[in-house]
Structure 1
Amino acid sequence: MEEKIFMVRVAEQAERFDDMYNFLKEVVAQKDSDFTTEERNLLSVGFKNLIGANRTAIRTIGAIEQNPKYQKFADALGKYKKKIEEELFNQCLSIVNLVKEKCLKLASNGESKAFFLKMAGDYYRYVAESAHGDKLTEVKNGALEYYNQASEISNKELGACNPIRLGLALNFSVFYYEVMSDHKKACELGETALQSALDKIDECDEETFRDAKSIIELLKENLSLWKEEEGDGGNEIEDL
């Protein structure tokens, strides 16, 4: 196991993110007990790196499609974007299945369960950003199901300043804003999490305070952005 973890880190430094993911799958396959915080963080980084290039590519091509100068290339752009969307779908569903079939079964406490339920919700959401038709319905429902399960556990078992609970609130609110187009619900989720955390922030230990503070700032940024006039656009919504 130590060698596998080492190779995960080597692949990350070499920016070989497909290899990093494959090494992580081997780590997960060998696990017979819950994941440490360090292992969870490695999974989080590895999975995000795997899909990062495709998410960025889809957004870039989408922006190019909006430029009137390139309308004559619309068919070619559309086909290329669809190819990348299919790659992203397969990557994200592979991660979701690994989380559901292995990671969640090993989760032994509220923090670990909330972490992996949130992760499943996140990877459904990443597909939903660019999915269409039946695929969009499938991944929207998947994200909603797992975010709700994660919220139920985190609200019962994790403190208001716990970084997993705060990160979940941040990402769930982004899901409502961007995917469900329910701006009121997005703001309600963000404001509730923000106020609960601010009420308890003075009771946190130093490490929790440091981690919570960075997520609190992201929540504030999103809420400020969302409350600006509709159609302002051009700003990047923050998530984890």
Structure 2
Amino acid sequence: MEEKIFMARVAEQCERYDDMVEFLRPILKEKGGNFSVEERNLLSVGFKNLIGGKRTAIRTITAIEQNPKYTRFGTALGHYKKRIEGELQKNCQDIIDMIKGDAMKTSDDIEGKAFFLKMVGDYYRYMAESAQEAVLEKARQGALQSYKEAEVAGRELPACNPIKLGLALNFSVFYYEVMQDSKQACLLAENALQEAMNKIDEVDEETFRDAKSIIELLKENLTLWKEEEGDNNIEDL
């Protein structure tokens, strides 16, 4: 197991994220949800970077499609985007299945359970970004259920806990981008922000540093949403 963790870090430095996930897969199967904080962070990096390039590619192609100069290439662009969307959907479903099949069955602490439920919600949300019809509805409902379950699981966590704050950030982004419910997005973000600001002076230096970065993202999103500006590329974790 130590060797797999080491090789996952090597793969990360090599920016070989497919390999990174493959090195982490047997560890997730063996340890389930009982990951250390460092191991959870490694898992997050591997998963997020595995699909990050595909999310960016889809946004880039969508922007090109909207340029009148390239209308004549619309069919080719559409086929290319659909191919990348298929890869992203497959990667996200694979990640969700791994977490549900291994981590969710054995995670035995509040923080770990909230972390993995949030992660499931995130990858359903990433699926929803480019999904259509039945797949879109499945992804919406999967994200909504997982985020709500993560909220319940993390209810007893301190207001400035980075996982709890990150959940509020990403859940609010889900409401804004996927559900197109800006009122609920703002309400969720504002509540988390207010609770965190009330407790921020009571936390240790490391928690303060982690919490502060998420608080700034919550503030930025609220500013965008309330001004009804931007292009919906809202920050998340």
Task: Name the TM-score, length of structure 2 as normaliser.
Answer: 0.97
Alignment CA distance shift 1:153-1:33 (3 Å): closer
Aligned equivalents of 2:172, 2:31: Cα separation in 1: 32
Aligned equivalents of 2:233, 2:33: Cα separation in 1: 38
Partner of 1:219: 218
Superposition deviation, residue 235 in structure 1: 6.7
Identity percentage of aligned residues = 66
Question: Runs of 4 or more off by more than 6 Å in structure 1?
Answer: none
Task: Note the alpha carbon deviations across 1:161-186, whole angstroms, 9 max, x for none.
Answer: 00000000000000000000000000
Partner of 2:107: 107
Partner of 2:194: 195
Partner of 2:230: 233
Superposition deviation, residue 103 in structure 1: 0.8
Q: Helix, strand or coil for the counterpart of 1:237? A: coil
**Alpha-carbon contact 2:157-2:164 (below 8 Å) kept:** yes
Task: Note the alpha carbon deviations across 1:116-161, whole angstroms, 9 max, x for none.
Answer: 0000000000010111110000000000000000011212x20110
Superposition deviation, residue 233 in structure 1: 2.7
Task: Note the alpha carbon deviations across 1:194-224, whole angstroms, 9 max, x for none.
Answer: 0000011111111111111110000000000
Partner of 1:144: 144
Q: How does 1:17-32 map to 2 (within 5 A)?
A: 17-31=17-31
Task: Name the TM-score, length of structure 1 as normaliser.
Answer: 0.96
**Alpha-carbon contact 1:35-1:106 (below 8 Å) kept:** no
Consecutive unaligned residues of structure 1, counting only runs of 5 or more, are none
Partner of 1:173: 172
**Alpha-carbon contact 1:115-1:164 (below 8 Å) kept:** yes
Aligned equivalents of 1:33, 1:186: Cα separation in 2: 29
Alignment CA distance shift 1:33-1:78 (3 Å): closer
Letter in 2 for 1:112: G
Q: How does 1:2-151 map to 2 (within 5 A)?
A: 2-31=2-31, 34-151=34-151
Aligned equivalents of 2:222, 2:192: Cα separation in 1: 11
Letter in 2 for 1:77: L
Alignment CA distance shift 1:189-1:32 (3 Å): closer
Superposition deviation, residue 29 in structure 1: 2.1
